[in-house]
Amino acid sequence: MERGKPVSLLLIGGKQAARQAYMWCGYRKVEKSERRSVTERIRIDLIAMYGREPHHPTRKCAHFHKVTLYNKLIELLKKGKQMDKSKEKCAPENMVLSDTERWKNIDRHKAEDYVRKLQARIVKAQREGRHGKVKSLQWLLTHSFYGRYLAVVRVTTNKGKNTAGVDHVRWSSDAAKVKAIDTLKRRGYQPMPLRRVEIPKKNGKKRPLGIPTMKDRAMQALYLMALDPIAETTGDQHSYGFRKYRSCQDAITQCHDVLSRDVAPKWILEGDIKGCFDHISHEWLLNNIPMDKEVLRKWLKSGYVFNGSLFPTEEGTPQGGIISPTLANMTLDGLQSLVQNAVKPYWKPADTEYGRIRIKPKINLVRYADDFIVTAKDKETIENVILPLIRQFMAERGLVLSEEKTKITHISEGFDFLGFNIREYKSNGKLLTKPSKEAMKQFCDKVRTKIKGNKSAKASSLIRMLNHMIPGWANYYRYGASSKAFSRVDYEVYKTLWQWAKRRHPKKGKHWIKDRYFKQLHGREWCFATVTKNKKSGKETTLSLKRLADTPILKYVRVRTNTNPYDPADAPYYAQRKSKNTENQLREIDDLLRMIWIHQEMRCPICGEIIDDERRWMTIKKTVNGKPFKILIHSSCKNKKFNPDNISRK
């Protein structure tokens, strides 16, 4: 810093900062005729720098700030005239960037780093009990440019980006996205009603789904960035639904770990909440959720439109909103500590050396969203202690347990949880997690419907349809004792395909039909396959149906319960976990892809970001130094410029 030069970093500060800047900048009197114009320039510059209206400091500081900024503006005008003279020949005057260029010029890495640091500070302040600091950091995040930008990015890149609300507005162009950033402001914000859509449930009933507008979704995503770090810090350890880096497999693995011990509890309470999202008390949410109360109240009371009529909302949070799962999770947080502290360990007289033994209640809770189980050593503890406490806990939040789905079972009878059947078999005393009979039946019915709905389709088209369905179901149940279930489902699929083939050729014999549609591949008979021809190369390849039985059974490693995805100290753990999952996925597809991924140092050669399971990726062929290479890139980087120097080959 040089004496006499304007100082821009001390525009907002205390008296000490003003004195220091005064020593360097000097004093320069502003005429009365210039005061208004100088003040307006200051206001515009402050809005551009900080994204908000300037505060009103003390009179002395305000006078100094005006003079300092005046000097800065004069200096910038002098530099601008010199630069304009040098650029007259190469660029026109008053050139303005288009909205598309403005959107592409925003540094996404910088935005993510800015938001990530603020979220880490929120976690630290929450753990220290500094609630005022938490509130101020939330305000800073929700009013920042980078936060609003990432909120727009989220709602324009997820699966619901083409789904509009009641206003029928979609942010499909870059110009619309840039304008949307400026609209995400708290002042004057009023959400629009939700568009109500009913989707069918497994039991034949319909689930009400509320679809907000694009602006309301972006506002929810913005405020979720500030709320989710608190939810992860205060949430139950064994709550796995709608939480970052947690899944159904984590909940099933926790159930297996609790119930497979030698001294494991034998009685289980299967709990389910009746209309959890639709009946949460608004009063409880407004009193207990640590976020902007005014904005939250507007979301809860926005109403919904169904069949052309407007209906008010007096309770519940809408299913379909981005922030709704987090609100539901925070509503149910505290249930784990409640049930675990319900019964304390006690001493019981016994014929031992000390004349007594210590009895533990063996109470554990595993929850995924509104589905949960509670374990105990006996049935009486659940009926007389646990169940009344849970009902009281739910009543305070306006919720009620579902009587038809809430039941008490013994581990030898087994219970269904998240599509798995968990049961201890008396024959060998082992606890096994298998796909439930209901889940198997639903998948088989889905496959039969797909096959019967394509009676006249080609065999190659039918194989491609089924190959999109089979891996997803297999990958979900591959972490349990699913070998027999996979073989059973494969047999049901084979029977349906055999009926499909016989119907197509009613006048042909069974041997002819078998030779036409069922081939011998890799030493295995009765493989549903067909020969296809590539239109470009003319090569003939055999396209076969994937089998569930070919899916290897793996052991799932549960996420650590004491980690926080927003804590910088736990970042290496989650990075290692994501890279391991991505490596396993690539190995299953093709081991060559895994080697390419490793040679690229796990990064996309175009954008330089890590390739993991959070963002979609694809393969492209490029020529580098006269040699063809297959590389992995993000799907969003497909149309961007490729730099061969970013590829490292070992």
pLDDT for 222-242, tens place per residue?
A: 999 999 999 999 999 999 999
CA distance 636 to 619: 12
pLDDT tens digit string along 288-306?
Answer: 999 999 999 999 999 999 8
Under 8 Å CB-to-CB from 84, ≥6 apart: which residues?
A: 93
At residue 647, does pLDDT exceed 60?
no
pLDDT tens digit string along 18-47?
Answer: 344 333 333 344 444 444 555 555 556 555
Give the pairing type, strands 304-306 and 194-200: parallel
> CB count, 10 Å around CB of 595?
13
Percent of the chain with pLDDT over 90: 52
3-state helix, strand, coil in the chain (%, to 5): 50, 15, 35
At residue 362, does pLDDT exceed 50?
yes
pLDDT tens digit string along 337-346?
Answer: 999 988 887 7
State the pLDDT at residue 479.
92
Percent of the chain with pLDDT over 70: 83
The residue ranking higher by pLDDT, 350 or 276, is 276
Q: How confident is the model at residue 89 (pLDDT cuts 50, 70, 90)?
A: very low
**What are the helix (H) ranges across 505-590?**
510-517, 571-589
Q: Provide mean pLDDT across the span 247-262.
A: 92
Contact 6, 68 (CB under 8 A): yes
Phi, psi of 530 (to 5 degrees): -150, 160
Tokens of 260: 């497979």
CA distance 551 to 380: 42
Q: Provide mean pLDDT across the span 512-532.
A: 91
CA distance 319 to 326: 11
At residue 310, does pLDDT exceed 50?
yes
Contact 411, 259 (CB under 8 A): yes
State the pLDDT at residue 191.
93
State the pLDDT at residue 42.
58
Under 8 Å CB-to-CB from 81, ≥6 apart: which residues?
A: none
Instruction: Give me the amino acid identity at 225.
Output: M
CA distance 607 to 634: 8
CA distance 639 to 645: 18
Q: Provide mean pLDDT across the span 532-560.
A: 88
- For CA atoms 509, 513, 516, 518, the dihedral sign is negative
**What are the helix (H) ranges across 162-281?**
174-183, 214-234, 248-259, 276-279
At residue 314, does pLDDT exceed 70?
yes
The number of helix segments (H) and strand segments (E) in the chain equals 23, 18
Give CA separation, 63 vs 2, 45, 334, 397, in Å. Answer: 22, 16, 53, 53
State the pLDDT at residue 144.
94
State the pLDDT at residue 3.
39
Question: Residue 295, class by beta-carbon neighbours within 10 Å (0-12 exposed, 13-18 middle, 19+ buried)?
Answer: middle
Q: Provide mean pLDDT across the span 53-76.
A: 50
State the pLDDT at residue 56.
44
Q: How confident is the model at residue 53 (pLDDT cuts 50, 70, 90)?
A: low
State the pLDDT at residue 483.
94
**Which of 116-130, 435-449, 521-535 is least confident?**
521-535
Give CA separation, 139 vs 116, 185, 646, in Å. Answer: 15, 12, 39
Mean pLDDT of the chain: 83
Strand partners, 529: 544
Residue by residue, DSSP assigns 500-562 as HHHHH-TTS-HHHHHHHHEEEETTEEEEEEEEEE-TTT--EEEEE---GGGSPP----PPPTT
